[in-house]
Amino acid sequence: MLKLDLIQTVAFAGMVLFIGYGIRGIIPFLARYNIPAPVIGGLLIAVMILIARRYEVTLFQFDTTLQSPLMIAFFTSIGFGASYSLLKVGGPQVILFFILASVVAIIQNVVGILLAIPLGMHPLFGVIVGSLTLTGGPATGLAFAPFFEQAGVAGAATLAVAAAMAGIVSAGLVGGPVTTYIISRYKLNPASTNTPVATGATAITRQESGSARSADEANSSFVLIKNLVIVLAAMWVGAWISNGLKAIHVTLPAYIGAMVVAAVVRNLDDRTKIFGLSPRVIDDLGNTALSLFLVMALMTLKLWELAGLALPLLVILAAQIVVIVALCLWPVFQLMGRDYESAVTVSGFCGFMLGITANAMANMTTLVERYGPAPRAFLIVPMIAAFFIDFPNALIITVCLNIWK
C-alpha cells in the first residue's frame, strides 16, 4: 500500500490530472464529448482501486485534507465572476435566460423526486439526478455529496459522478440535433437575427482589457500573489459566514459564504477599482483548484456503491433528457426570440443544463461553424452557465436538503 500525506496526495493528483489529459488526447471520443481530463484521470484511479478491492488489496491511502479548501477556492473564483455590470451589459435577454435556467433547475428536481419515490429511492436521489449534477456538474455534485449522505442517500458522491458523467455525454449527443431541427423547421439563418449585441460584447471586452492593462499587471508575480491573497481572504471571511449559518441550523455547503463574499468584493471593485482584481488570474486560480479537487474527489470514490442503483439512475436520466429537449423546443426557443441566435442559445442551454459549460460552448461552436456567427448567444450562455446559475442552484439544492434532511 502506498501511503501519501497531504502534499504527496496533491502531487499525485496533479500527475493523475496530466494522465487524464494524455488519455483524452489519445481517445478522440473523450475529447468529442468534452469529458474533463480530471474526471478521466480520477476515475482511472478509482477503477484501479475497485479492481484491487476485489482481490482484497489496498493500493493507496490518501490524505485528503486539502480537498475541501480546493473546492472552496474554486467556488470562490465563481463568486468573483458574478459581476452585476457584466449582467447589465447583456441586457434583458440575459436576465430572461437566467430566470429560465433557474426555473428549469427546479423542474429537474421535481421530475427527479417524482420518479425516485415510485422507484423506491430516497427523494433526494432524484435531486442528485436532477439539478445537483445536471445543472451543477460534477464539482457541485461532489461538493454537496456529504450533505446528501448525512440525509440518508448512501454512496451520494459516487452516484453524483455517475449522473454527471451521463449528463455530460447526453449534452454532447442531443444539443446539436435539437438545434439543427429548430433551424431546419423555422428556416433560420444568421441574417434573421434582429438583435444587435456588438455594444455589449465590446463593453465586456473593454472592461476585461482595461483590467488587463492596469499598472499592477506589469508585474505578473505581484498580480498573482495579490489576487491569491484576495481569494484566500474571501474564503476566510466566507468561513465566518458559513459557521454563523451553521450555528442557526441552516444547511449550506462550506463554499456559499465565500461565494457571497467574493461576489460582493467583485462588484465593489467594479465600481471603485479599489482592489484592482484580475478576472483572468482569478479564473486561472479557480480552474487550477477545480482540477485538483476533482481528481482528489474522484480517485477516492467507492465505485462499488453503485451496485443496485443503475436502473433508477437510468430511468431518471432518460426522463431528464426528454424534459430538457422538450423545454428547448418550447418555451426556451420562443422566449429567447425565435430567431437564429435563439436556436444557437438553445444548444448552449441544452449543453449546460445537462452537462457543463464546455458542452454548451462545444454545441454552439459546432453550429456557428456550419451556419454562421451568433454573437448574442456567445455573450449570454457562458455568462449564465459559468457564473450566475450556481447561485440559485445552490439555493434550490439547499431547500431540498432542508426539507428531506
Quickly list DSSP for 286-333: HHHHHHHHHHHHHHT--GGGGTT-HHHHHHHHHHHHHHHHHHIIIIIH
Other residues' Cβ atoms within 10 Å of the Cβ of residue 32: 12
Judge whether 138 and 165 are in contact, CB under 8 Å.
yes
Query: How many angstroms separate the CA atoms of 73 and 340, rounded?
Result: 38
Q: Which residues contact 360 (CB under 8 A, 6 or more apart)?
A: 171, 175, 347, 348, 349, 350, 351, 352, 381, 382, 385
Local confidence band at 251 (pLDDT 50, 70, 90 cut-offs): low
Residue 193 has pLDDT above 60, yes or no: no
Angle, to 10 degrees, between the axis of helix 357-371 and the axis of helix 375-383? Answer: 180
Q: What is the pLDDT of residue 387?
A: 79
Alpha-carbon dihedral angle through residues 340, 342, 347, 348, given to the nearest 10 degrees: 130
| Residue 291 CA, distance from chain mean position | 12
| Residue 197 CA, distance from chain mean position | 26
Judge whether 397 and 132 are in contact, CB under 8 Å.
yes
Judge whether 191 and 345 are in contact, CB under 8 Å.
no
Name which residue leads in pLDDT, 376 or 212.
Answer: 376
Q: What is the pLDDT of residue 120?
A: 95
Rounded average pLDDT over 237-260: 85
Phi (first) and psi of residue 33, to 5 degrees: -100, 20
Judge whether 289 and 10 are in contact, CB under 8 Å.
no
From 363, 395, 398, select the one nearest 381 (Cα to Cα): 363
SS3 378: helix
> CA 77 → CA 239, 288, 297, distances in Å?
15, 11, 19
Question: What does the pLDDT look like over 203-217, one tens digit per residue?
Answer: 344 444 444 445 545
Record the pTM: 0.82
Question: What does the pLDDT look like over 277-312, one tens digit per residue?
Answer: 999 999 899 989 999 999 999 998 888 888 788 899
Most confident range, picked from 103-107, 151-155, 191-195, 282-286: 103-107
Judge whether 163 and 128 are in contact, CB under 8 Å.
yes
Rounded average pLDDT over 216-226: 79
